[in-house]
Amino acid sequence: MDARTLIGAPREIHTGRLRLLTPQADHAAAFLESHTTSLPLLRFIAWGQQLRDGQWAERFQRDAAAMVEAGECLIYNVFLRDGGAYVGRVDLHSFDFEVPRCEIGYVGDARHAGRGLMREAARAVIDAGFGLGLARIHAITDARNAGALRFAERLGLQREGVLRCWERDPQGALADAVILAAYNPRAPGTTTTEGSMPWP
């Protein structure tokens, strides 16, 4: 697995209720509206600390699309199949192709909370990542972010431990993080560790 694998990955994923699309310029307005609406809930997201404008949103989408085309990561904007409303964003990033493994990130639109839509989207992206040959996909979440921890566990990721003094949060405070992961039992060379559960 290498960057060419990501360059050749699907640019569109469909689930029962959702369409997941690689970022495009015409996603900017929906993304900005979601960001503005959801801002009070984005305290742990580096780019979610202030109101933004249309130029920033367009640049954000362009930069994301360029990273995908370069094989650096996979990013999907999530939309309802029925009506096309913006639901959120899911990405796979920080790849180590030697393992191979990566980190997953997700940010949902607050207006769609509680419907299981982001869980559906994230599961689809994890499945796609495992289909490409990833052995492991993990999430690293601020230990104080109870909502994100609940989401990861409901998604099916297993809590592995706490990373003490892991990073600075967006406000500059030193913070602990929790790492959770899903494992691909079909990855070549995978060994099973007692107590670890493969991805459903």
Q: What is the DSSP string of 117-147?
A: HHHHHHHHHHHHHHHHT-SEEEEEEETT-HH
Digit-by-digit pLDDT tens for the chain (200 residues) are: 999 999 999 999 999 999 999 999 999 999 999 989 888 787 777 777 778 899 989 999 999 999 999 999 999 999 999 999 999 999 999 999 999 999 999 999 999 988 999 999 999 999 999 999 999 999 999 999 888 999 999 999 999 999 999 888 878 888 999 999 999 988 776 665 555 666 67
pTM: 0.90
Decide: residue 154, CB within 10 A, 0-12 exposed, 13-18 middle, 19+ buried.
exposed
Structure token pair of residue 10? 């699907």
Do the beta carbons of residue 103 and residue 177 sit within 8 Å? no
What is the residue extent of each domain of the chain? 3-137
Q: How far is CA 104 from CA 94, 95, 117, in A?
A: 9, 10, 16
Which CATH number does the domain 3-137 belong to among 1.10.275.10, 3.40.630.30, 3.30.1490.100, 3.20.20.70? Answer: 3.40.630.30
